Structure 1
Amino acid sequence: MKNPIFTFVPLALLTLSHAWAAELVYEPFNYTAATGVTSLAGGSGWNAAWTQDGSSGVISSAGMSYTDSLGNVLTVSGLGMETTGSATTRNFRTVSGGPLTDVWISFLYRLPASNSLFEGVSFYRGSTALFSISNTSVDTSSSITLGNSVTPANVNTLKGVFGTTHLVVLHLTEGGTSPDKVEAFIDPPFAAIPSQPDGTIQAANFNFDTVRIAGQNGATLFVDEFRVGSTFADVTPHTPGGDPDTDGDGLTDGQETVLGLDPFVSNAGLVAAIKANPDYFGLYDSAGMLQLTNGGVVLPQTGNDPVGFTFEVQHSTHLSTWPPLETFTRSVVLPGGKNFLRVTLDNP
């Protein structure tokens, strides 16, 4: 005799799948504070140490941290880098296996105060400047600019606050027969792959092999946790935080982000309509699930308790009364998110 056990969920669930790949380049700036960046060679995915053209930036006295809008905390280590100096600081470092394309890039960025000087992170192929994230020399606001050095064009993301640590995420896509594209996302939540960039630029070839961090006339920009990876998840490693339901509609902010909804606009009416009319959406309510016996017995879970059930093996000598011959009692802990158990009986 065999007793197959099946588990079900009462409503259809949407899940997000990340194509986990590999972190290609990482610089945590895990060095000694107040040290010049030139000649430092930590991190991974680089083929040489940092070099300088002009003065050198320095290692900050403290590292930077970042928590997204859903409470998820970026994984960080080490200290950070700042472009502070007595003259223009320009530090370069070349990645291994370049030029790189079809990659995600992330780093922490903090501009302390207004000025009319260039501070930014730029990307090169050899000696050719390609694109950058910066405070441009013609902008005294705190706005973060995505710049294109191949075809002169700057896109103001309209994001950025003085003295605030921002997470900058860039997505470089090779265009094939079309122009390459760089999309900038400022402070995206980690719950879902971002789809609405704060700025986009295009040009014939954005493949890069060198990173530059620079501050004009020694102007200060703080940079930390530089990463390049094959996926968004590669460049946003994090510790999950709390996931509140800001609009009180029964869906957490993280769930709404994954579903493309606004966490600040209630969907309570739609949720109630789905629950009241599950058949409209090809779903089952609890009563409907209990009717899906298919030759077995469906048992509901109560709260988070295990599902308990008892069955008897009965016998009879005259087929009119059936006293128990043996009784079996089981208690089954269902997997997370499962609410029903079905028991069927089959003779081998």
Structure 2
Amino acid sequence: MKRPCFHLAAIGLILPCHAAPLAHESFDYGAGSALTSRDGGGGWAGAWYQDGQSGVAGADGLGFTDALGNVLDATGRCADTTGTATTRSLRVLGSGVTNDVWISFLWRLPASNRKFEGVSFYRASQQVFTVSNPSTTTTSQISLTSNLTANNSVNTQKGDFGTTHFVVLKLTKGGGAGGADRVDLFLDPVLAGTPSSPDAVISGSNFDIDRVRIAGEDGATLLVDELRVGETFADVAPHDPAGGPDSDGDGLTDAQEAVLGLNPNVDDSALIAAIRANPGWFGLHDRAGILAQGNGGVVLGKEGEGPVNLIFEVQHGENLVSWRVLETFNRQVMIPPGKQFLRITPASP
């Protein structure tokens, strides 16, 4: 008897949402100018200040395109830790002490060395946690470290010299083991969907923060850009979809609206919401209708944000009444970003 195999197909739709972050810094200053006393961006209590030598504004800004072609919104230049001595530039959040937030920034480490380069988060003078390339290694791998607890550091085993990475942090008050605070780090997540599988996780007694520090030991070079703090992932990952810009923010790209004969500068969100609320009026399927579209397979709806636990049995028997388990298959399947349904079908032999 041949062992059956199955195909998985996924379908779905997700619309981007560009919300205003709690704080944003795009380092839109003159190339080579010191960061100290610069007060651009929004959501900050004051200008950048220094503890040591000041970082500078880089020659150019950084950019990031995810694996699906979505492009992060980016303007201005970047922060550059290059200097003749250790650079430490700090800035205080306008919201004061905060937790239960998302933080994102672009990161590029140009070359190997044994110097500390990193972005640290403080509560007053207390260093709370850090994203860094530690001075104990010459690799490009990015680590997440709690500065409150000894030996609480996780290496993501990811990172490349000369490559811009998108670093996203999720702070959860009381979200760790035993009610401790928790920080999740996601490296280069897809922009069009909230990530759920972190590359590093740390826990601590109190991860409340009120300021950020960008530092390079002995003037070692690290480039940081598009620093954002927000209440949701969408707040800190504003982007243009792979199909191009969406000028009116309604979820349809300008190119799609042109094909449909719509005005790309007029928000069609109300019409889109009406179509979704009344799919039958437009000959479309609602959730129940999609689940019924097996076409020789079984359609499963997405539940929650994690991977799907796919468990099925191959059975055998002497008649068509009594069946015994021959083998059980159990594996996790990651749902592609933006997809809401999976279909399981027999594969061709």
Residues 141-152 of structure 1 aligned to structure 2 (within 5 Å): 141-152=139-150
Range 176-185 or range 227-236, more displaced: 176-185
Residues 70, 116 of structure 1: alpha-carbon distance in 2 compared, 3 angstrom cutoff: same
Check the 8 A contact 1:20/1:231 in 2, yes or no.
Answer: no
Task: Report the 3-state secondary structure (helix = DSSP H, G, I; strand = E; otherwise coil) of the residue aligned with 2:224.
Answer: strand
The aligned counterpart of 1:230 is: 231
Q: TM-score, normalised by structure 1?
A: 0.66
Establish whether residue 172 from structure 1 lines up as the match of residue 191 from structure 2. Answer: no
The aligned counterpart of 1:55 is: 53
How much has 1:191 moved relative to structure 2?
Answer: 2.2
CA distance in 2, matches of 1:194, 1:240: 16
Tell me the matched-pair count. Answer: 243
Amino acid of the structure 2 residue aligned with 1:230: E
The aligned counterpart of 1:132 is: 130
Residues 115, 282 of structure 1: alpha-carbon distance in 2 compared, 3 angstrom cutoff: closer
CA distance in 2, matches of 1:204, 1:43: 31
The aligned counterpart of 1:108 is: 106
How much has 1:22 moved relative to structure 2?
Answer: 3.8
Check the 8 A contact 1:70/1:242 in 2, yes or no.
Answer: no
Residues 57-206 of structure 1 aligned to structure 2 (within 5 Å): 57-152=55-150, 153-175=152-174, 178-206=179-207
Establish whether residue 39 from structure 1 lines up as the match of residue 37 from structure 2. Answer: yes
Amino acid of the structure 2 residue aligned with 1:77: T
CA distance in 1, matches of 2:293, 2:203: 42
Task: Report the 3-state secondary structure (helix = DSSP H, G, I; strand = E; otherwise coil) of the residue aligned with 1:67.
Answer: coil
Map Cα deviations across residues 291-310 of structure 1 (whole Å, 9 max, x no partner): xxxxxxxxxxxxxxxxxxxx
The aligned counterpart of 2:218 is: 217
CA distance in 2, matches of 1:194, 1:105: 13
Bigger radius of gyration among the two? 1
The aligned counterpart of 1:276 is: 295
Check the 8 A contact 1:133/1:147 in 2, yes or no.
Answer: yes
CA distance in 1, matches of 2:18, 2:160: 32
Task: Report the 3-state secondary structure (helix = DSSP H, G, I; strand = E; otherwise coil) of the residue aligned with 2:235.
Answer: helix
**Which consecutive unaligned segments of at least 5 residues does structure 2 have?**
1-9, 245-289, 302-349
Map Cα deviations across residues 201-248 of structure 1 (whole Å, 9 max, x no partner): 0001101001000000000000000000000011000011149xxxxx
Amino acid of the structure 1 residue aligned with 2:295: A
**Which consecutive unaligned segments of at least 5 residues does structure 1 have?**
1-11, 244-270, 284-348
Check the 8 A contact 1:133/1:146 in 2, yes or no.
Answer: yes
Q: How big is the alpha-carbon RMSD for the aligned residues of Structure 1 and Structure 2?
A: 2.5
Map Cα deviations across residues 86-127 of structure 1 (whole Å, 9 max, x no partner): 000001100012211110000000000111110000000000
Task: Report the 3-state secondary structure (helix = DSSP H, G, I; strand = E; otherwise coil) of the residue aligned with 2:218.
Answer: helix
CA distance in 2, matches of 1:274, 1:112: 51
Off by >2 Å, runs of 4+ in structure 1: 12-22, 273-278, 280-283
Map Cα deviations across residues 56-93 of structure 1 (whole Å, 9 max, x no partner): 11110111111000000110111111000000000110
CA distance in 2, matches of 1:20, 1:32: 27
Check the 8 A contact 2:16/2:241 in 1, yes or no.
Answer: no
Amino acid of the structure 2 residue aligned with 1:179: A
Task: Report the 3-state secondary structure (helix = DSSP H, G, I; strand = E; otherwise coil) of the residue aligned with 1:23.
Answer: coil
Check the 8 A contact 2:17/2:238 in 1, yes or no.
Answer: no
Residues 223, 19 of structure 1: alpha-carbon distance in 2 compared, 3 angstrom cutoff: closer
Task: Report the 3-state secondary structure (helix = DSSP H, G, I; strand = E; otherwise coil) of the residue aligned with 1:133.
Answer: strand
